[in-house]
């Protein structure tokens, strides 16, 4: 039996017939932190909806990560959904950033629902709007912001995701996610620490109280 409250919040507007379909076809799985969910080139068998946790969606270029967006609770992966209209092959990597609970719907069922319950398109239009904004923010950050600003934005983002300040992040992890080297990140972190914007401790990296930690 899947999470009834999650289903009602996400799909209740589609009516009882659709809710019965969800109970019939959807399954729930728990994913441990740092577990790879799918990789580029694999076949997509399910469209996921995140109940709790956090999932990072990214691509790799010469071993370096480029983050597209994070899936947060109540969200789906738009790029997984879009693949079901072509060859079902994933063009992204996805990894659970923390222990996560995911609702999975078989892609064949989603195809059928799009015809039988066309109102479900509203769910995916909403996802498209959020993911498009995420990708645009990523592009603007990479093109227009200096690396020190990008590092600060990444730390703020991770604090917003985890709810922890300080947040546990290694220099290598930040470098991988921003497409640069660990040595460069270490220099940048030292610089912004000297400027009083962060503090690095054994517990992690802390944004100072006068810094604005934005939600993502």
| Backbone phi and psi for residue 112, each to the nearest 5 degrees, phi listed first | -65, -40
User: Residue 74: is its pLDDT beyond 50?
Assistant: yes
- Cα separation, 149 vs 151, in Å, equals 5
DSSP-based three-state secondary structure for 143: helix
The CATH classification number of 143-207 equals 1.10.10.10
Q: What is the homologous superfamily of the domain 5-117 according to CATH? A: Jelly Rolls (2.60.120.10)
Instruction: Summarize pLDDT for 101-149 with one digit per residue, the tens.
Output: 999 999 989 989 999 999 988 888 888 887 777 777 767 666 556 888 8
Average pLDDT over residues 192-211: 85
Q: Where are the domains of the chain?
A: 5-117, 143-207
Q: Phi-psi region for residue 204, left (φ > 0), alpha (ψ -120 to 50) or beta?
A: left
Residues with Cβ within 8 Å of 85's Cβ and at least 6 positions away in sequence, in order, are none
Looking at residue 2, its pLDDT comes to: 52
Q: Per-residue pLDDT for 216 more than 50?
A: no
Alpha-carbon gap, residue 13 to 187, rounded angstroms: 51
Query: Taking CA 139 as the corner, what is the angle to CA 48 and CA 130, rounded to the nearest 5 degrees?
Result: 35
φ, ψ of residue 167 to 5 degrees: the values are -115, 140
pLDDT at 214: 44
Tell me, yes or no, if the two domains 5-117 and 143-207 fold the same way: no
Spatial distance between the Cα atoms of 43 and 46, rounded to a whole number of angstroms: 9
Q: With 70 as the cut, is the pLDDT of residue 73 above it?
A: yes
For the chain, helix, strand, coil in percent to 5 are: 45, 25, 25
């Amino acid at each position: 039996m899947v999470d009834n409250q999650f289903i009602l919040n996400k799909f209740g507007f589609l009516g009882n017939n659709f809710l019965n379909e969800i109970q019939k076809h959807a399954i729930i799985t728990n994913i441990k932190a740092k577990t790879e969910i799918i990789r580029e080139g694999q076949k997509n068998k399910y469209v996921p909806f995140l109940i709790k946790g956090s999932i990072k969606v990214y691509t790799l270029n010469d071993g370096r990560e480029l983050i597209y967006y994070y899936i947060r609770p109540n969200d789906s992966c738009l790029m997984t959904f879009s693949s079901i209209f072509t060859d079902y092959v994933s063009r992204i990597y996805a990894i659970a950033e923390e222990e996560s609970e995911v609702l999975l719907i078989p892609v064949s069922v989603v195809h059928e629902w799009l015809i039988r319950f066309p109102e479900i398109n509203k769910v995916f239009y909403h996802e498209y709007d959020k993911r498009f904004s995420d990708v645009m923010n990523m592009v603007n950050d990479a093109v227009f912001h200096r690396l020190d600003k990008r590092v600060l934005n990444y730390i703020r983002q991770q604090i917003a995701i985890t709810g922890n300040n300080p947040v546990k992040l290694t220099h290598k992890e930040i470098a991988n996610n921003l497409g640069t080297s660990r040595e460069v990140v270490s220099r940048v972190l030292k610089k912004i620490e000297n400027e009083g914007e962060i503090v690095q401790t054994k517990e992690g990296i802390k944004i100072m109280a006068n810094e604005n930690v934005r939600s993502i």
